[in-house]
Amino acid sequence: MPAPYDLHSHTRLSDGILSPKDLVARAAAAGIRGLAVTDHDTLAGVPEALAAAEGKPVRVIPGIELSVTHAGREFHVLGFFLDPGSPSLAVLLERRRDDRISRVREILAKLKRLGIEIGYDDVAAMGDISGTLGRPHVARALVAHGHAGSLDEAFARWLGRGSPAYVPYPRLHAKDGIAAIHGAGGVASLAHPALDDGDGVLESFQSAGLDAVEAWHPSHGASQVARFLARAESLGLLASGGSDYHGTGEGEIALGDPGCPAEAFAALEARSRRPSPR
């Protein structure tokens, strides 16, 4: 049985495969009651997802997954219950979208110096430029042009941190990303916290305004889920959960597996209604 709520999913407006409409149809078919659409650095898929949920037994929660920098490292912060029309968030996201386009061009320039010629249009064709582009689109182009056998290999050989065509993000400090989520009426949760579980990471994100931690994620085994739930409780953070669904068909990832239990979802929603400033 999948969990009733899934608070982490991607569409083709970032690095997912499905259109927002198809994602929502799949969630409804899977029995999901609430789905947060959380594309990387864009809200572009939210209007179509909201429209697709009308008349269906699934509720769409406008969300996002923001790439932020903290202590010189990269983290992802999820935002839920956002006002999709927030002007302040729109300004920030427009800048991030341009930053991502410049970053793809820098990656392509590095690849060219390494003897690999891939055009910007080849990368853009792997996604939807009304949303955001990222390394996964470059990885798909590398595979399509025979420079890597798989997406994993493309990341390992060329695109991952420490690889020759790696380009870091222009900085968005964690505090500013979290403030942008709050400014749009949302709740902020640290995504897949096991990826970088260095000393004091959760504590410093909490000082930066974090509301919750993503305790349920496909990369977490049962003991990690228990550990993050315990740490959230001791810090006074809420817990979120989602499948990080990309619709790619790979692995065992299914909507709602894992997801977010109803009580945890209710606590997050209650927090979103807290009057600002918080």
Stretch that binds Zn ion, among 60-68, 144-152, 194-202, 213-221 (CB under 5 A): 60-68
Per-residue binding letters, 140-159, with ligand AMP (x by CB under 6 A): -----------xx--x----
Least distance (Å) between residue 131 CB and Zn ion: 14
User: Which residue lies nearest Zn ion, judged by its C-beta?
Assistant: 244
Asked if 165 and 135 touch (Cβ cutoff 8 Å), the reply is: no
CB of 132 to Fe ion, least distance (A): 10
Which sign, positive or negative, has the C-alpha torsion 161, 162, 167, 172? positive
Q: Which residues pair with 76 in a beta bridge?
A: 67
Q: Which is nearer to Zn ion, 150 or 219 (CB)?
A: 219
Query: Nearest residue to ligand AMP, using CB?
Result: 134
Residue 39 binding: pick among ligand AMP, Zn ion, Fe ion, none (C-beta 5-8 Å cut-off by kind) = none
Cβ contacts of 230 within 8 Å, gap of 6 or more: none
Element (H, E) at 166: none
Q: What is the closest distance, in whole angstroms, from the C-beta atom of residue 8 to Zn ion in the complex?
A: 6
| β-strands 34-37, 5-6 pairing | parallel
Restricted to residues 64-83, the positions that interact with Zn ion (CB under 5 A) are 65
Instruction: Specify the length of the chain in residues.
Output: 278
Determine the Cα–Cα distance for residues 151 and 156; give it in Å rounded to an integer: 9
Mask for 169-208, x = binds ligand AMP (CB under 6 A):
----------------------------------------
Q: Which helix (H) or strand (E) holds 68?
A: strand 64-70
- Listed in sequence order, the DSSP H helices in the chain are 20-29, 46-53, 87-113, 120-124, 135-144, 151-154, 174-183, 201-207, 222-235, 262-272
Name the minimum Å distance from CB 134 to ligand AMP.
Answer: 3
Beta bridge partners of 249: none
* Shortest distance (Å) from residue 136 CB to ligand AMP: 5
- Min dist CB 118 to ligand AMP, Å, is 15
Structure tokens given for 95 = 């800048």
Nearer to Fe ion, 73 or 274 (CB): 73
Q: Which residues bind ligand AMP (CB under 6 A)?
A: 15, 40, 67, 134-136, 151-152, 155
